[in-house]
């Protein structure tokens, strides 16, 4: 049987690492993209080797067109068929609207939206070469319900949400395209205790989510949802319906 390959961006830590692990458990070999977290992806390779799963680590800075193209080129050298892409890499930063200069805005769009756009485009031949394939975008509930002082972030995730729907229509029936929209899943490392308490108070299920909560939704969309495309699954403990 042909090996199944999944490309996961930002696979060296946190949500991306857990999504890669979940897909490996479901029988996928992994193209683990990292920018700086090479150690996490290498550890994943060692962890999965005894089970016979292959992990190729690909380094690329997705903030530039050259970095996005490099990821496409390196992926093509690893495989001619691609069964899934999980676009997880992203940046998140709190900046009041008046202080978002063009460099910050452009970087946010490049990593959070342009990278998924042009990487999927660059790998379309490999996706279509697989019998069935899919793309999963990791968006955010803030794509539809903005957070104050995150305008450039919210715009980038809203663009990614529309890309999900646009590609679901255009790439069907060969390629399914869906999204997972986390709420507060793993707090950014720089959130202080007061901010964490404030966020938790708004989550009906009463807890911060976990990387495995998101990974389970990714695995569902990749492995168990052959008749689902153009959809967004919120993994947010109910926060988006309680607003």
Ligand X SMILES: NC(=O)c1ccc[n+]([C@@H]2O[C@H](COP(=O)([O-])OP(=O)(O)OC[C@H]3O[C@@H](n4cnc5c(N)ncnc54)[C@H](OP(=O)(O)O)[C@@H]3O)[C@@H](O)[C@H]2O)c1
Site residues for ligand X per CB under 6 A: 10, 12-16, 34-37, 61-63, 88-92, 111, 138, 140, 182, 184-186
Cα separation, 75 vs 119, in Å, equals 10
Catalytically annotated residue among 105, 150, 153, 220: 153
Q: Could you give the 3-state DSSP secondary structure of residue 78?
A: helix
Closest approach of ligand X to the CB of residue 228, in Å:
20
Cα separation, 127 vs 116, in Å, equals 14
Nearer to ligand X, 12 or 164 (CB): 12
Closest approach of ligand X to the CB of residue 27, in Å:
23
Cα separation, 238 vs 194, in Å, equals 21
Strands of the chain, DSSP E: 4-8, 28-34, 55-59, 84-87, 133-138, 175-182, 232-235
Residue 153 bears catalytic tag: yes
Closest approach of ligand X to the CB of residue 1, in Å:
30
Residue number of the CB closest to ligand X reads 90
Closest approach of ligand X to the CB of residue 143, in Å:
9
Nearer to ligand X, 88 or 178 (CB): 88
Q: What share of the chain is helix, strand, coil (3-state, %, to 5)?
A: 50, 15, 35
DSSP letter at 70 equals H
Which residues belong to the active site?
A: 153
């Amino acid at each position: 049987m042909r090996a199944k390959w999944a490309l996961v961006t930002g696979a060296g830590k946190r949500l991306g690492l857990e999504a890669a692990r979940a897909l490996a458990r479901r029988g996928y070999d992994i193209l683990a993209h990292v920018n700086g977290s090479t150690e996490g992806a290498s550890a994943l390779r060692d962890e999965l080797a005894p089970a016979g799963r292959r992990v190729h680590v690909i380094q690329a800075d997705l903030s530039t067109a050259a970095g996005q193209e490099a990821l496409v080129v390196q992926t093509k050298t690893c495989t001619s068929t691609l069964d899934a892409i999980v676009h997880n890499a992203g940046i998140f930063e709190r900046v009041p609207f008046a202080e978002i200069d063009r460099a910050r805005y452009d970087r946010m769009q490049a990593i959070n939206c342009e990278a998924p756009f042009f990487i999927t485009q660059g790998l379309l031949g490999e996706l279509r070469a697989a019998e069935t394939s899919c793309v999963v975008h990791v968006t955010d509930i803030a794509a539809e319900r903005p957070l104050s002082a995150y305008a450039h972030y919210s715009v980038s995730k809203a663009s990614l949400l529309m890309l999900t729907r646009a590609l679901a229509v255009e790439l069907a029936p060969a390629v399914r395209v869906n999204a997972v929209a986390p709420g507060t899943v793993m707090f950014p490392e720089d959130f202080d205790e007061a901010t964490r308490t404030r966020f938790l108070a708004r989550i009906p299920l009463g807890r911060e989510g976990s990387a495995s909560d998101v990974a389970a939704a990714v695995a569902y969309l990749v492995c168990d949802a052959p008749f689902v495309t153009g959809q967004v699954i919120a993994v947010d403990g109910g926060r988006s319906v309680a607003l």
